[in-house]
């Protein structure tokens, strides 16, 4: 999305190593003091790190309100997987950087289990201290999308570290590939782990249960599948292609994440600016 009032652009990391772990960066801005937007965004299994400039951000239940506040230089929020949709109200001038990590991608840039950084689904983020906000200030002030990307790339390359749990990485790939509910016992046996160890590692590193993560993968893949067919696929075929047991199972699953039936969800959906960005306006 690009207009005189609002810009929403995305770009992938340039460095091949980062492309394995960071899905994309996005930049959302408007300098219109009268700008207003309300939208609902849906659960995602990816980790998002969002940085706001000169904004006051408040929460009430599942609703987020963003208002201009020049006294607040920057606010960084780290968002882990959630099972619930959220409603966002944006008002006035907005400057925002989004960094969207692949599953386990975020874990390659920290030296502690991800669970230690979490006190809620959405968390204030200051892991890197002032160096992080010095970097994001440079990004906010950059004049081109490529320059913003390069500053972010350089920062994350400096903080890259190999993730030591190869089995967990392979299990994530297994879940993404099968696009269905995976048996914890079967996964543990396949990778020569105890069920208890697998559940503990999954929770520590992804802050999520395997069952919930698997369901989120199928939900997001269903959205992308519909998008790929540009709305021409029937809901019956969509349910079949994404391994739902039957239409009732499909309806229940979609409603649990969005509060909408599949028919209403796909009729109302809007996609703005970036891969995997999927929300409903209004």
pLDDT tens profile 203-251: 899 888 888 899 899 998 898 888 888 778 899 999 999 989 899 999 9
pLDDT, one tens digit per residue, over 114-167 is 888 887 667 888 899 999 999 999 999 999 999 999 999 999 999 999 998 889
pLDDT of residue 1: 53
- Looking at the DSSP assignment, which residues form a beta bridge with residue 29? 7, 95
Cα 235 to Cα 8, 49, 102, distances in angstroms: 30, 33, 28
Residue 41 — very low, low, confident or very high, per pLDDT cuts 50/70/90? confident
The Cα–Cα gap between 270 and 261 comes to 16
198: CB partners within 8 A, 6+ apart = 171, 184, 187, 188, 191, 210
pLDDT of residue 3: 56
User: Six-digit token pair at 90?
Assistant: 């944006």
Does the pLDDT value for residue 170 go beyond 60?
Answer: yes
The Cα–Cα gap between 193 and 188 comes to 5
The Cα–Cα gap between 207 and 20 comes to 20
235 neighbors 108 (Cβ within 8 angstroms): no
243 neighbors 180 (Cβ within 8 angstroms): yes
Residue 108: name the closest of 56, 161, 68, 144 by CA: 161
178: CB partners within 8 A, 6+ apart = none
pLDDT (average), residues 19-27: 95
256-259: Cβ within 8 A, 24+ apart: 256/83, 257/42, 257/43, 257/83, 257/84, 257/85, 257/219, 258/40, 258/42, 258/85, 259/85
98 neighbors 49 (Cβ within 8 angstroms): yes
User: Six-digit token pair at 20?
Assistant: 């394995």
Any idea what the Cα angle at residue 82 is, between residues 8 and 260, rounded to 5°? 80
Does the pLDDT value for residue 4 go beyond 70?
Answer: no
pLDDT of residue 223: 86
Longest CA pairwise span in the chain (Å): 58
261 neighbors 252 (Cβ within 8 angstroms): no
- Looking at the DSSP assignment, which residues form a beta bridge with residue 96? 28, 52
E strand spans, 45-151: 47-53, 55-60, 63-68, 74-79, 86-91, 94-101, 122-124
Tell me what the pLDDT averaged over the chain comes to: 88
106: CB partners within 8 A, 6+ apart = 21, 47, 49, 114
Nearest 5°: phi and psi at 174?
-60, -45
């Amino acid at each position: 999305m690009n207009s005189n009032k609002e810009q929403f652009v995305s770009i992938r990391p340039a460095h091949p190593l980062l492309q394995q772990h960071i899905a994309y960066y996005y930049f959302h801005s408007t300098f219109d003091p009268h700008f207003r937007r309300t939208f609902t965004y849906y659960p995602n299994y990816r980790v998002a790190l969002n940085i706001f400039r000169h904004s006051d951000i408040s929460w009430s239940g599942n609703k987020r309100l963003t208002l201009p506040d020049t006294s607040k230089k920057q606010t960084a929020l780290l968002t882990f997987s959630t099972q619930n949709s959220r409603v966002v109200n944006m008002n006035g001038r907005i400057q925002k950087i989004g960094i969207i990590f692949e599953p386990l991608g975020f874990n390659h840039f920290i030296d502690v289990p991800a669970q230690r950084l979490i006190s809620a689904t959405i968390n204030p983020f200051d892991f890197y201290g002032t160096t992080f906000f010095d970097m994001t200030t440079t990004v906010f002030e950059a004049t081109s999308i490529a320059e913003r990307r390069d500053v972010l790339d350089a920062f994350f390359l400096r903080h890259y570290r190999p993730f030591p749990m190869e089995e967990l990485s392979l299990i994530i790939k297994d879940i993404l590939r099968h696009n269905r509910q995976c048996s914890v016992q079967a996964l543990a046996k396949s990778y020569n782990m105890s069920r208890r160890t697998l559940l503990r590692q999954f929770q520590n590193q992804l802050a999520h249960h395997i069952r919930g993560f698997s369901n989120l993968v199928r939900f997001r893949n269903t959205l992308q599948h519909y998008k790929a067919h540009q709305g021409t696929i029937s809901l019956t075929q969509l349910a079949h292609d994404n391994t739902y047991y039957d239409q009732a199972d499909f309806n229940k699953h979609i409603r649990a994440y969005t509060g909408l039936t599949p028919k209403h969800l796909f009729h109302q959906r809007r996609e703005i600016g970036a891969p995997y960005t999927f929300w409903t306006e209004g």
